Amino acid sequence: MKIMVVMGTRPEAIKLAPVIFALRRQSGFRVSICATAQHRDMLDLMLRTFSLKPHIDLNLMRPGQTPNEVLQRVIQGMDKVLEKTQPDLVLVQGDTTTVLGAALAAYHRRIAIGHVEAGLRTFDKWNPFPEEQNRVAVDHLSDLLFAPTQTARRRLLQEHIPFKNIFVTGNTAVDALVWAAKRPHRFEAPALRRLAAHKRLAVLTLHRRESFGAPMKRIFETLRNAAQERPELQWVYPVHPNPHVRAMAHQLLRHPNFTLVPPLGYLDFVHLMKKCEFIVTDSGGIQEEAPSLGKPVIVVRKATERGESLGRWSQLAGLPNGLKKAVLALADGKWRRPSRSNPFGDGRAAQKIVRIIRQWGKNV
């Protein structure tokens, strides 16, 4: 069976790497990797981390592209690739513009689509934008839908997607995390090695489009105020490469309790999460990963598609009062670790996905 795995961003590489490894361990699969390079530098960093080399690289990244321009380039590039390679299955993950473009190109060529991380919803088409509508469309184009949880499966059934096409597997983010957390690691940057020796750390990440501008300014100001009230806590912020984000971060987080670092490699970041006490983020992947490390998460978004952990491992924090209150509560130790394990998986999602693909291949 010929399988083409398509990826364009850092999270896609992280979450598809376990599936690629699991497919390669089995006979009967011819796996090729196609990189769109929607996010060139961040994708390349992850490919090196997992020792993955794309067979095809569309190299689509251009400065200042709009989502429509990215989508157009992905569809056109993937159409030529699919015409030449004729895979039996195109495997995509998540909800980026790469995912939507690759799925549309495969659908127009009548090639089967497998969607890893299917069924996530906020039911707000603007949050996250454009990811919410991307994943809805991709789910309805897909032939194999790998839902991370029973909640995701129920959402797909409510949208009248056939029961026989939906499989609950857990999230492959947990597979990747388990692999990374077990690896012996020494931080590359001296600044991180010094921080790792600090007794109390908190981590901040912000990267979503809807966080940029005024919301990000409020987040930075709120966290700076919280840091002044809890000076014993040291904050680490791997700053998003967007120049406007960098400028605002260096202006508003100029404080002795904040250390701003460039974007981190995956292993560095996983081991930083292991060391910290809690995380403030707008990331979906961190909401999935943190429970496996026993870390609580404050989500600075209006809504989350990962509600399975809300109230136990994570909380939505409004701005600014809700965020500051949540940060101070965690800094003061007012959180009890849940007895339940990570709701997003046990580290064996990729194995389940491969078994499902093999069985599907026998029936088509």
213-257 pLDDT per residue, tens? 888 899 999 999 999 999 999 999 999 888 888 899 999 998 999
* Identified catalytic residue from 39, 115, 117, 268: 117
Residue 198: what pLDDT? 75
* Identified catalytic residue from 131, 132, 139, 175: 131
> Taking 80 as the threshold, does the pLDDT of residue 318 lie above it?
no
Using CA atoms, how far apart are residues 166 and 156, in angstroms rounded to an integer? 8
Using CA atoms, how far apart are residues 251 and 233, in angstroms rounded to an integer? 20
Per-residue pLDDT tens over the stretch 16-35 = 999 999 999 999 999 999 99
pLDDT bin (cut points 50, 70, 90) of residue 82 is: very high
Residue 272: what pLDDT? 95
**Main-chain phi, psi angles of 239, to 5 degrees:** -80, 135
Residue 294: what pLDDT? 94
CATH number of 189-331: 3.40.50.2000
In the chain, which segments carry CATH 3.40.50.2000? 2-170+347-363, 189-331
* Identified catalytic residue from 193, 209, 250, 254: 209
pLDDT bin (cut points 50, 70, 90) of residue 192 is: confident
| Catalytic annotation present for 131 | yes
Range of weakest confidence among 152-161, 174-183, 239-248 = 239-248
| Of 256 and 195, more confident | 256
| Catalytic annotation present for 95 | yes
| Catalytic annotation present for 117 | yes
Question: What DSSP character marks residue 340?
Answer: S
| Catalytic annotation present for 185 | no
Q: For residue 44, give every residue at least 6 positions away whose Cβ sits within 8 Å of its Cβ, in sequence order, or none.
A: 37
Range of weakest confidence among 69-73, 198-202, 359-363 = 198-202
What are the E-state strand segments in 271-364? Answer: 278-281, 297-299, 314-316
Percent of the chain residues topping a pLDDT of 90: 80
What are the E-state strand segments in the chain? Answer: 2-7, 30-35, 56-57, 89-93, 112-116, 144-147, 166-168, 201-205, 234-238, 258-261, 278-281, 297-299, 314-316
Residue 287: what pLDDT? 95
> Taking 90 as the threshold, does the pLDDT of residue 194 lie above it?
no
pLDDT bin (cut points 50, 70, 90) of residue 131 is: very high
| Catalytic annotation present for 244 | no
| Catalytic annotation present for 224 | no
> Taking 80 as the threshold, does the pLDDT of residue 284 lie above it?
yes
Give the CATH number of domain 2-170+347-363; options: 3.40.50.2000, 3.40.50.1980, 3.40.50.1370, 3.40.50.300: 3.40.50.2000
Rounded (5°) CA angle 11-109-24: 45
> Per the structure block, which two tokens stand in for 1?
């069976």
Residue 195: what pLDDT? 83
Residue 59: what pLDDT? 95
* Identified catalytic residue from 12, 39, 95, 208: 95
* Identified catalytic residue from 153, 207, 208, 301: 207
Average of pLDDT values for 271-296?
95
> Taking 80 as the threshold, does the pLDDT of residue 320 lie above it?
no
pLDDT bin (cut points 50, 70, 90) of residue 76 is: very high
Residue 162: what pLDDT? 98
What's this model's pTM, rounded to 2 decimal places?
A: 0.91
Using CA atoms, how far apart are residues 330 and 272, in angstroms rounded to an integer? 17
CB 240 within 8 A of CB 207: yes
